[in-house]
Amino acid sequence: MEDIKLALRGIWAHKLRSVLTMLGIIIGIASIIAIVSTINGTNEQIKKNLIGDGSNAVKVSLYNQDYEMDFAVQTAPNGVKYMDKSVLQSIEDLEEVELACTYHNRNAYSNIYYQNTSLAGGTLIGSDMKYLEVYNYEIGKGRGFSDDDIETRKKVAIIDDKTAENIFPNAVAIGKIIEIEKEPFTVIGVMSKKDEFAPTINNIQDYYTYKTDYTSGTVLIPDSCWPTVYQFDEPHFVAVKAVNTDSMTAAGNKTAELLNDHYHLDADTVYKGSSVMEQAKQIQALSESTNKQLVWIAAISLLVGGIGVVNIMLVSVTERTGEIGLKKALGAVKSRILIQFLVEAAVLTLLGGILGVGAGVILSIIIGTVSEVPILISPWSIVLSVGVSVVIGLVFGLLPAIKASRLDPIVALQRRD
């Protein structure tokens, strides 16, 4: 504590010199925090853009070679049947899976009409009762499917807000009859996402990367009615809700592996999970590879700041030669002098680090406001920055401290006179 007091007294006595010495540390720390905050914010935005509503849902579907099978134009492979409840239960028993559902789907191929109005490009889903929860939907009006709807193959439908706007612009949708492939279905509910989300689209590349939902609306019918509409059975798609965002890839892969083992599929036709998180990680890696170069460039400022610390501490040793000689004459050992000057250097850079953190936070906020870049300031980057500043003081203050500790007391006292 005595050394810290002496260090603070010395810094206060030479305020301008101390601030100029800390400037390199301040600039370096501020730059690193601003860059790291931008990297973290961008990575979170990438994840949100891809995952969107936070449902943690992963689609697991059949692939032939490297292409997802589309049963509107392709024949189902032999050996793949309707998913039974035991298989679904095995999927839900996986550690990474919170909930699982089965469904059929037609995207943009369905003939969906209300009177003379067509839902062009709409998506038709034949689902079980868990679909809404897995994909983070809620019923805003009407009701969802019941066990009776599924078991008796009741011709009922749930539509989303977009469908309601497109084919019922000025009418109440509940109770209306829509035609799906010329089969009449009664609308019993209108659903919407629990958490509305739109990806941040800054350019055309972002549009094609994130904007994957081109449908003009979604209609759900009981999956037991699917053979009634399309006159033949089809394999199920599977959707799993992972326990958290980071488990999405593992949940999809393990589900696909379980299904492939169950159905004994060949190498050409297999179940695969849609690796949304893998895609996010690949985009994040491209972003980070560029930004990390900026971090290293900013770190040069810390090197310059460290050199400034060496310089000012050498000046301090020269100015305080007489003081050092007097302490040694009174019995101070080398280690005592060494520690005193190391503490002074560490305190100097610690103050620079703290000021640098403040400047970095302010700079991050300014960058985020002006350029509309997402910013995420993480506590670990602040703690690490302060720690690095102390280490710089100890490393670069070592040479002047050693020089001070090795001074001959007689020579130092002579210089004092």
pLDDT per position as a tens digit, 152-189: 999 999 999 889 988 888 888 999 999 998 899 999 99
| C-alpha–C-alpha distance, residues 175 and 51, integer Å | 33
Tokens of 185: 């279905």
Q: Is 143 part of a structural domain of the chain? A: yes
Q: What's the pLDDT at 208?
A: 45
Q: How many CB atoms lie under 10 A from the CB of residue 314?
A: 15
When pLDDT is averaged across residues 145-153 and rounded to a whole number, the result is 91
Residue 276 pLDDT greater than 50, yes or no: yes
Q: Which of 75-89, 248-262, 287-301 has the highest average model confidence (pLDDT)?
A: 248-262
Q: Which of 185-199, 243-257, 367-381 has the highest average model confidence (pLDDT)?
A: 243-257
Question: Are 79 and 158 in a shared domain?
Answer: yes
Residue 378 pLDDT greater than 70, yes or no: yes
Question: Are 110 and 210 in a shared domain?
Answer: yes
Positions of E strands within 230-286: 237-242, 269-273
Question: Are 173 and 234 in a shared domain?
Answer: yes
Q: What's the pLDDT at 207?
A: 44
**Separation of CA 77 from chain center:** 37
Domain end position, chosen among 215, 243, 271: 243
Domain end position, chosen among 243, 268, 300: 243
Residue 210 pLDDT greater than 50, yes or no: no
Q: Is 265 part of a structural domain of the chain? A: no
| C-alpha–C-alpha distance, residues 265 and 78, integer Å | 9
Residue type at 314? L
Q: What's the pLDDT at 176?
A: 93
Positions of E strands within 65-122: 67-68, 97-107, 112-114, 117-118
Q: What's the pLDDT at 283?
A: 54
Question: Are 218 and 345 in a shared domain?
Answer: no
Question: Are 7 and 61 in a shared domain?
Answer: no
Angle of CA points 312, 318, 322, to nearest 5°:
140
Share of the chain above pLDDT 90, in %: 13
Question: Are 63 and 210 in a shared domain?
Answer: yes
The reported pTM is: 0.59
Cβ atoms of 357 and 382 within 8 Å: the answer is yes
Domain end position, chosen among 243, 267, 292: 243
Q: What's the pLDDT at 262?
A: 82
Residue 211 pLDDT greater than 60, yes or no: no
Number of domains in the chain: 2
Tokens of 38: 């931008």
Residue type at 359? A
Question: Are 153 and 8 in a shared domain?
Answer: no
Q: Is 189 part of a structural domain of the chain? A: yes
Q: Is 258 part of a structural domain of the chain? A: no
- Residues 280-308: pLDDT tens digits? 555 556 556 656 666 677 677 777 778 88
Question: Are 230 and 103 in a shared domain?
Answer: yes
When pLDDT is averaged across residues 87-92 and rounded to a whole number, the result is 89
Question: Are 323 and 176 in a shared domain?
Answer: no
Partnered with residue 62 across adjacent β-strands are 271
Q: Is 141 part of a structural domain of the chain? A: yes
Q: What's the pLDDT at 59?
A: 86
Q: Is 161 part of a structural domain of the chain? A: yes
Who has greater pLDDT, 243 or 283?
A: 243
When pLDDT is averaged across residues 237-266 and rounded to a whole number, the result is 84
Question: Are 44 and 66 in a shared domain?
Answer: no
Q: Which of 50-59, 232-241, 250-259, 296-305 has the highest average model confidence (pLDDT)?
A: 250-259
Share of the chain above pLDDT 70, in %: 80
Q: Is 249 part of a structural domain of the chain? A: no
Q: Is 23 part of a structural domain of the chain? A: yes
Residue 66 pLDDT greater than 90, yes or no: no
Residues in CB range of 309: below 8 A, 6 or more apart: 21, 25, 345, 348, 349, 392, 393, 396, 397
| C-alpha–C-alpha distance, residues 26 and 305, integer Å | 8
| C-alpha–C-alpha distance, residues 311 and 400, integer Å | 8
Q: What's the pLDDT at 175?
A: 93
- What is the extent of the structural domain holding 105? 57-243
| C-alpha–C-alpha distance, residues 166 and 174, integer Å | 15
**Separation of CA 299 from chain center:** 25
Question: Are 118 and 18 in a shared domain?
Answer: no
Positions of E strands within 215-372: 218-222, 237-242, 269-273
Question: Are 224 and 325 in a shared domain?
Answer: no
